[in-house]
Structure 1
Amino acid sequence: MEKRQQHLNRFCMDILHILTGAIVGFIIGLTGVGGGSLMTPILILGFQINPAVAVGTDLLYAALAKVNGVFFHHRQRTIDWKVVLRLSCGSLPAALLTLLMLGKLKRLGYDFEHWMTLTLGIMLILTALVVFARQKLLQLLQKGLHRQNPLITQLKRHRGTITILTGVALGFFVTLSSVGAGAVGTAILFLLYPNTRTVMIVGTDLAHAVPLTAIAGIGHWQIGSVDLELLSGLIMGGLPAIYLGSLVGRKLPDRILRPVLAFILLGLGLHFSLRVV
């Protein structure tokens, strides 16, 4: 009887994981905002999962969920591989160094989870602001291009170095929080490469996010911060739902979806930031 109850509990939990993956995947397809912004908070708050495990599991989920998108953009030739290389030159070493730091702290018995939670809160707030201001940012960039804004000129002059430094920052923060490779990375690329088409920016950011989240996720797995059973359920529910969400999203007004999502992300960010202050 006890074994039957255990099997029933495991089955119910697996169904919940699949449904969670499906809900988050649908929102990803609907809004285009990365899964880390929603998946990690849901795992921590909804399932009471350890923050480190939530981050590590979500990183692998993000890598697997975005692979198809990279193949699509590559076929459409909407990826600037030179920019991907510059970002990766900064982000991948930064991710590896961050993982080495986390592994060392774990072996020493240091509780670093409150720092991960604080980083998660900060990145969620930043993502919310980016989602709020995306259209306004694009309009300002267009005006700056026409007027030869000094800031735009300086960004163009040093953007190779700035792109690498951006990669360093993303590698550190994404490895700690699983958030930022999508919305924040895209916003920075818009600033650095204002003449580039939107679809090219999205494709380039996606192509950089996959190896970054994959390496960070594998590193978390090596230090014991990934739940593979949870990951399999999230993938089963998430991948089909992303496609479904993208179909529905084409018919819904962006001006309604993005503010709602931004308010949710802002609330989550404030919650995680304040709980560790």
Structure 2
Amino acid sequence: MNLTYIFSGFAVGTLVGLTGVGGGSLMTPLLTLLFGVSPTVAVGTDLAFASITKATGTFTHRLRGTVEWRVVRLLCLGALPAAILATFGLKYFGGLNKEIGQVIRYSIAGSVLLTVIALLFKSKMLAWLNAHPEKQLHGHKLDVATIFSGALLGTLVTISSIGAGAIGATLLVMLYPRMSSAHIAGTDIAYAVPLTAIAAFGHWWLGSIDWALLGALLIGSLPGITIGSLAARAVPEKLLRGILATTLTLVAAKLIL
């Protein structure tokens, strides 16, 4: 088993524990750029990785009562059909060929840049919403917007494996500005479990999961997430997010160029 993959899993797991940013925005570009894994296989393997790690996180949040299940159901109404349609789209257009691999590469770059925007401007967007309560959605409009957001995330996650972390949490903050941070995190993780599981199953069907690579990443990431979570309080969040945003911007530029 490749020790480099185990170490990479540990490094990404530690960063996820420290920052709370989804592993996809870190792991998928890492596999593509550093190890030369094809974009399709990188996405498929990372989705299988995410479905396992997020299931553990959901169990913890459920015990703490920090999951808004009604919001989870609305997100899934949009996300799960979108994930299935995106999988069939990859199958129809040839998910493993070179041209689609390039499209996926650009999709990864776009998703990484959206993650950067979410990291840098989430608090400012939330402050604006709180200052303009008349702009907040309610009732049926809020439900429709939640379902639509789920569909957008389902498509992004299936194609690029990125979106269920920082982007999903930012959309939840925009739609539900009164929801506590703990409930945002718990809800974001909970809806991502069936989404990443369905998307991973679709990539298994496409033949784009490297199981040996997945095993090595899991061996490294699980202790990494634990250590990162324990150390999170000792490291200034603003500094970490700034470094992470800079790194992800450079990653996106490298993917595009």
What range is the shorter-chain TM-score in? over 0.9
Q: How do 1:2-81 and structure 2 match up within 5 A?
A: 11=1, 14-81=2-69
SS of the aligned residue for 2:234 comes to coil
Q: Deviation of residue 138 (structure 1)?
A: 2.9
Cross-structure match for 1:232: 215
1:139 to 123, 127, 151: 127
Q: Deviation of residue 71 (structure 1)?
A: 0.6
How many angstroms apart in 1 are the aligned matches of 2:98 and 2:227? 43
Q: Deviation of residue 125 (structure 1)?
A: 0.5
Q: How do 1:214-233 and structure 2 match up within 5 A?
A: 214-233=197-216
- Contact residue 73 and residue 203 of structure 1 kept, 8 A: yes
- Contact residue 53 and residue 225 of structure 1 kept, 8 A: yes
State the percentage of identical aligned residues: 41
**1:115-156 C-alpha deviation (Å, 9 max, x unpaired):** 111111111111001101122233223323xxx3x321xx22
Structure 1 residues 28, 173: CA separation in 2 closer, same or farther (over 3 Å shift)? same
Q: Deviation of residue 174 (structure 1)?
A: 0.7
Which one is further off, 132-141 or 21-30?
132-141
Cross-structure match for 1:251: 234
Larger radius of gyration: 1
Is 1:93 aligned with 2:77?
no
How many angstroms apart in 2 are the aligned matches of 1:268 and 1:156? 37
Cross-structure match for 2:158: 175
1:242 to 221, 225, 229: 225
- Contact residue 40 and residue 95 of structure 2 kept, 8 A: no
Q: Deviation of residue 195 (structure 1)?
A: 1.3
Is 1:161 aligned with 2:144?
yes
Cross-structure match for 2:180: 197
Structure 1 residues 137, 107: CA separation in 2 closer, same or farther (over 3 Å shift)? closer
How many angstroms apart in 2 are the aligned matches of 1:71 and 1:110? 39
- Contact residue 95 and residue 175 of structure 1 kept, 8 A: yes
Q: Which runs of 4+ in 1 moved over 3 A?
A: 107-110
Q: Deviation of residue 209 (structure 1)?
A: 0.9
Is 1:105 aligned with 2:88?
no
Give the length in aligned residue pairs: 256
- Contact residue 125 and residue 270 of structure 1 kept, 8 A: no
- Contact residue 118 and residue 166 of structure 2 kept, 8 A: yes
Q: How do 1:121-132 and structure 2 match up within 5 A?
A: 121-132=109-120
- Contact residue 14 and residue 228 of structure 2 kept, 8 A: yes
Letter of the 1:187 partner, please give it: T
Q: Deviation of residue 256 (structure 1)?
A: 0.6
Q: Deviation of residue 109 (structure 1)?
A: 5.8
Letter of the 1:20 partner, please give it: S
CA-based RMSD of the aligned residues comes to 1.5
SS of the aligned residue for 2:200 comes to helix
Which one is further off, 134-143 or 191-200?
134-143
How many angstroms apart in 1 are the aligned matches of 2:96 and 2:109? 25
Ranges in structure 2 where 5+ consecutive residues have no aligned partner: none
**1:80-135 C-alpha deviation (Å, 9 max, x unpaired):** 11110110011111101111111122289673111111111111111001101122
How many angstroms apart in 1 are the aligned matches of 2:150 and 2:90? 19
